[in-house]
Structure 1
């Protein structure tokens, strides 16, 4: 009896293990966790946009220019002579005040001529008095009376001529004392003590400190954006203003100016027009900028000119432009659209557009390396005060 069971054991044992395995698998299947379905979202690139809105704008024109004298004068000798006095501040870079004695000359020959002229004047006055006394003491008629009247008239003419000669010499003597014509500074001095000069000899070059001139070169497209001083019969329009900036390391200092006009010609090589900007009181202190230095001649400065008012322009940041005159728009479906623009002017920070975009459209600001027509993007929420871009 045992022997048949022993013969069946190799068959029954695997079947028992198989049955146990099936029971375990059934239990695992019944107690398995339920799978939850999740929607898979595409990984869209996040982007920032700015809403396009047309505005009436004054386009700023940014250029550089040199500080030059607005009023310049050559100090000349008014007469001949030897330089006997020079003001201590009559040196390059020295400042002076209007009416200050700058140079004095001495002319011995002129002094001698003046002494002789005064003697001649006294002699002529004495002759005139004698003639008048003789005429008053004698009442002659006929030819004698005519001769006496002629002698008196001749004496009067001689006395007047002698007096005028003295006045002329005194004027020449006064011209030997040369005074400052205005408040200003010395650019160049060409005079030394003991130097012999003639009338008209240049002694120094001076410039007024009340204002300076800044000369800038503008292209035709820049010039068309500005208001220039009127030269015709039309009502005058206030000229464009200028903001002058000079950098000293990380510090910036500013002055205000106005366009005074152009030099009336276009350079044949550069095709640029020279424009002059006047800055008043360039050496005065500014309470709002206590550390602002004086605006010296020869300084290279940055100039931002305020353009005339242009209606209906779109101001677009330079970062949004690619290929020179194109940008990306994020449409209502959240996809990119390429737009070609009509550009009026390209400024330092902004591009000013007349056509190619419409009010309310969203301009892409983020730089995407894989930007393509129809690419879906995810908008980054911007604060309300950043809905419109500010340069």
Structure 2
């Protein structure tokens, strides 16, 4: 403590102020140096980052155009059989019920033929009597001619016909012809008591039963042809040019596949375009086609196990159209703004390319121009696509280092 007191006495006020000033000056100099020589970060240009994308290689190939549509099954021909004669129905076949089938010429039902059989017998008797009377008259004419020749007289033409019984002979011949005509009518009426199928038929509706009294013109049964059905198909008018339509664009019709509902995609029937309907639907403005399907009920051995068609059912239809040569298939998800696709160029940049669609389907479109084999189609999404932006393949990790 004594030493400290002594030192303090040696340093006067002036020295203390001077010492403080020196210390502050050194601190300020040091601070200025550090502030003027502090480290600075060097600015470098930002490195471009390539956006990863998924791509698919484009290859052209021939494509068979398929026009897909919906259709309604309808009979190719339907007939409502009516009675040609009156009477009681005395016999019907067991197959005479809705859904029953008859072969062409097979009996469906029988109207009581008794009265008509009696009429036929009567007309045959009338014919026999007329033939007898004609022969008698021919004999009388022969006798009159002989007597006339023996007389050796000459008379006027009109009197000669009377002498030779020409009017009586003509009347006898006319009576025979009338009797034969009445017999033919009676036999025809008898034949009409037996109602037969005019074609291979399916019973759609039954109007009478056993014991029913029917008049001429009365409805008996409604039949539809089982040899073929029609499918009425509605398609857009701009699809017609791709199809072969008899009488319109070709001599033969395009092949068709018909898929009945409930049978799966692998089950189908085949048909052919038969004709183009006269007008378009007034509401949908769609064109109509008729497609013919043979053996729609699968009655023939070749079609056993295939799906039968039912009248008025809705079916899916695939109509085979023309073939696209060297077309590129583009997924619809890779089509942008309706007519543009994204291509990754060989320099790994984006090319937004407009294309002309040659054919479009549900999930894909087909393009014939603006593309080359081997080009890379971008199939993934880009948030903000810009022409020429840098890209890299998501399947190539090494591309990120480029």
Establish whether TM, by shorter chain, passes 0.5.
Answer: yes
Partners of 1:286 and 1:292 within 8 A in 2: no
Aligned to 2:377: 363
Give me the whole-angstrom Cα distance separating, in 1, the residues matched to 2:185 and 2:73: 42
Give me the whole-angstrom Cα distance separating, in 2, the residues matched to 1:221 and 1:300: 23
The answer to whether residue 368 in structure 2 is matched with residue 351 in structure 1 is no
**Corresponding residue to 1:51 among 45, 55, 58:** 58
Aligned to 1:199: 216
Aligned to 1:376: 391
**Matched residue of 1:167: which SS?**
helix
**Matched residue of 1:248: which SS?**
coil
Give me the whole-angstrom Cα distance separating, in 1, the residues matched to 2:318 and 2:207: 38
Aligned to 1:292: 306
Residue-by-residue CA offset, 1:26-76 (whole Å, 9 max, x unaligned): xxxxxxxxxxxxxx99785351313143x5543211111122112322222
Aligned to 1:279: 293
Partners of 1:50 and 1:364 within 8 A in 2: no
Aligned to 1:89: 95
Give me the whole-angstrom Cα distance separating, in 2, the residues matched to 1:249 and 1:311: 33
Residue-by-residue CA offset, 1:50-105 (whole Å, 9 max, x unaligned): 3143x554321111112211232222222222222222112111111111101211
Residue 285 of structure 1: CA displacement? 6.6
Give me the whole-angstrom Cα distance separating, in 2, the residues matched to 1:60 and 1:175: 50
Residue 343 of structure 1: CA displacement? 2.3
Give me the whole-angstrom Cα distance separating, in 2, the residues matched to 1:183 and 1:229: 26
Give me the whole-angstrom Cα distance separating, in 2, the residues matched to 1:285 and 1:213: 17
Aligned to 1:255: 269
**Corresponding residue to 2:86 among 80, 85, 88:** 80
The answer to whether residue 178 in structure 2 is matched with residue 161 in structure 1 is yes
Partners of 1:336 and 1:376 within 8 A in 2: yes
**Matched residue of 1:128: which SS?**
helix
Inter-CA distance 353–200: structure 2 relative to 1 (3 Å threshold): farther
Residue-by-residue CA offset, 1:156-213 (whole Å, 9 max, x unaligned): 2211211111111111111121111122211122122232323333322212222111
Aligned to 1:341: 355
Aligned to 1:182: 199
Inter-CA distance 283–289: structure 2 relative to 1 (3 Å threshold): closer
Partners of 1:189 and 1:205 within 8 A in 2: yes
Partners of 1:327 and 1:340 within 8 A in 2: yes
TM-score (normalizing by structure 1): 0.76
Partners of 2:161 and 2:167 within 8 A in 1: no
- Answer with 112-121 or 280-289: which moved more: 280-289
CA RMSD, Structure 1 to Structure 2 (Å):
3.0
- Answer with 140-149 or 177-186: which moved more: 140-149
Give me the whole-angstrom Cα distance separating, in 1, the residues matched to 2:343 and 2:92: 72
TM-score (normalizing by structure 2): 0.74
Inter-CA distance 351–74: structure 2 relative to 1 (3 Å threshold): same
Partners of 2:50 and 2:392 within 8 A in 1: no
Give me the whole-angstrom Cα distance separating, in 1, the residues matched to 2:264 and 2:237: 33
Partners of 1:67 and 1:212 within 8 A in 2: yes
Inter-CA distance 377–238: structure 2 relative to 1 (3 Å threshold): farther
